[in-house]
Structures are given as C-alpha cells and as structure tokens.
Amino acid sequence: MRPLNALTDWSLEPWASIPLLVSGILYFRGSRHLAAASMLGRPLRRRLSALFWCGWIILALALVSPLHELGEHLFSAHMIEHELLMVAAAPLLVAARPMPAMLLGLPDGWRRGLLNWTRGRGPRRAWSAATELKTATVLHIAVLWVWHLPALFTAALASETAHIVQHLSFFVSALCFWEACWSRHARRTGQAEAAMMLFLVSVQAGFLGALLTFSARLWYPADYGATAGFGLSPLEDQQLAGLIMWIPACSAYVAGGLIVAGRWLGAMERRHA
C-alpha cells in the first residue's frame, strides 16, 4: 500500500460528497433566514449551528477524507469510520435539530411540496415507527451485529454498492436511535427508559468489541501489506478495531445515557421542590 497523501487522497464519490455539499448549503442558507427573521434567540442559534457543523465535519471526515481510503485497507481505520458515523456525527446532528433551517434553505415551491409530502399518513407513520425507542434500539443493535458477520462484512469490502449500503444503514439506524433517545428527553417523558436503552446498546457493542479484541483468529480478509506498513499484524489490526469499538465508542453511549439520566433526575427534583 502506498503512503496516503492528506491533500489528494480524498474520496469524492458522488453518493457521499453530493449529499454533504447539498446539506451544508441548505443549512447555511436556512440559518441565514432564521437569523434575519429572529426566529430563534442568538445563543440558541449559535449552539445549534455549532452542533450541526461539528456533526457535518465529522461526517465528512468519515466519508470523504483520507480516512475513508485508509479504511479500505485497515480494519481499525474502517472501525473508526463506523464509530464516527454512529456515536459522533449522528448524535450531534440530531441534537442540532437542523430540519427547520434546511427546509428554509429550499426554494419555496420545493419546501411546500416536501412539507405536504411529510404530512401524509405514510411518511408520518414510517418516521414514528422508526424513531419509537424500542424499535430504534433493536434496529440499531441488529444493524451493528449483522454487518459484522464475516460474510456480510467481506461482501462490503468486495462490493462498492454493499459498502455504501453498510455505511448508510449504520448512519440511518444511529440517527433513528439518537432521535428516539433525545426526543424522549425533550418531551420529559420516558427519559429513564431512554437512558436504559443507551446503556443497553453500550453493553452489546462492548461485547462485540471484546469478541474482536480477544479472538485468536481473523474474522475477515486482511490486507497484509497495509497492516505491515503500520507495524501491525492482521490479527493486531483486528484487536485494535475491537478496542476502538469497546472503549471509546461504548463510552459515547454511556455518556449519552448519563446525560439523559442526569437531566431526568434534575427534572424530578424540580417537580418535587
């Protein structure tokens, strides 16, 4: 494997770069409309904008930066991509509540058409089902485990289409899961259950990471030249990937659970004060 060039080895595939560019433009345009109309207070606008752009930048790092190219050769880099999508970009973007700004960034006719479509029974039911807490939790866990089955993970390495589906399913299931957790917190109902689901996902992701870390055999095909270039054997690369899932990724779910639980307890204290 040749050394990566941080300036030239950007993966600008249309499936990733175009949605990133369009979403960034829409949010920028819509945010200016919100600011001009004073529809949100300035501190709140700044906080939501910071959350969005942090999530957007992390999403870009995962999908189009040289990390994406490196992930084609190193399992540990591939794992970093996945975790950036699920435990960094997704919760930040959900917390940013970007849809009002992005809708305002659309031309008037497109915005009215999209709003009319989302008000239909089918889209509303689908969104409600996908972001119901238990459903979203099961979906997120299932996506995580299914794509780490050796046959499917190997298929994602061999097929660009399967690779795209893998990344999309990780990201979309994470969006639904974090939306379910944060929306329950925002409604001040079901917060204890949301915290429990965050801890549950942390436990099962940690278990999968531990399996990868302590396994004595390779689960997936390895690029021996790439791992040797980083001073790792393929098995050590797999163990490093397991540690990435086990420690920092699981810590993000635990942190989310602690945030929800802490605010739930704070709300209970205020009600009984």
Within the chain, residue ranges assigned H as helices are 14-37, 42-63, 66-70, 75-84, 90-96, 99-104, 108-118, 121-130, 133-147, 150-158, 160-187, 191-214, 224-229, 234-244, 250-272
Residue 5 predicted with pLDDT over 70? no
Task: Tell me which of 8-12, 17-21, 134-138 is least confident.
Answer: 8-12
Nearest Cα neighbor of 85 from 29, 143, 138, 129 is 143
Lowest mean pLDDT among 59-68, 86-95, 138-147, 189-198: 189-198
Q: What is the pLDDT of residues 62-78, one digit of tens each?
A: 999 888 888 888 899 99
Least confident of 164-168, 222-226, 233-237, 246-250: 222-226
The pLDDT of residue 221 is: 82
Residues 54, 31: Cα–Cα separation, whole Å: 15
Residue at 146 is within a domain = yes
Q: pLDDT tens, 120-133?
A: 888 889 988 999 99
Mention every residue, 6+ apart, whose C-beta is less than 8 A from residue 41: none
- Enter the pTM of the model: 0.91
Would 65 be classed as within a structural domain?
yes
Contact between residue 197 and residue 249 where contact means Cβ atoms under 8 Å apart = no
pLDDT at 2: 52
Burial category of 160 from C-beta neighbours within 10 Å (exposed 0-12, middle 13-18, buried 19 and up):
exposed
The secondary structure of residue 105, as a DSSP letter, is: T
User: What is the structure's pLDDT at 44?
Assistant: 80
Whether 2 is covered by a domain: the verdict is no
**Residue 1: band (very low, low, confident or very high) from pLDDT cuts 50, 70, 90:** low
Residue 101 belongs to a domain = yes
The DSSP letter of residue 4 is P
Q: Does residue 40 surpass a pLDDT of 70?
A: no
pLDDT of residue 18: 93
**What average pLDDT does the structure give for the chain?**
88
For residue 5, being part of any structural domain is answered with: no
- Position with higher pLDDT, 36 vs 77: 77
Could you tell me the residue range of the domain that residue 146 belongs to? 14-272
Quick one: what percent of the chain has pLDDT higher than 70? 92
Angle of helix 121-130 relative to helix 108-118, nearest 10 degrees? 70
Whether 7 is in a domain gets the answer no
Residue 120's pLDDT is 86
- Residues 268, 189 contacting (CB under 8 angstroms): no
Please report whether residue 9 resides in a domain: no
Neighbouring C-beta atoms of residue 242, cutoff 10 Å: 23
Query: pLDDT tens for residues 170-188?
Result: 999 999 999 999 887 666 5
Question: Considering the chain, what percentage of its residues have pLDDT values greater than 90?
Answer: 56
Is 223 domain-assigned?
yes
**For residue 73, what pLDDT is reported?**
84
Highest mean pLDDT among 9-18, 81-90, 253-262: 81-90
Report the pLDDT value the prediction gives residue 87, as an integer from 0 to 100.
Answer: 96
Number of domains in the chain: 1
Here the tokens at position 114 are 């999209």
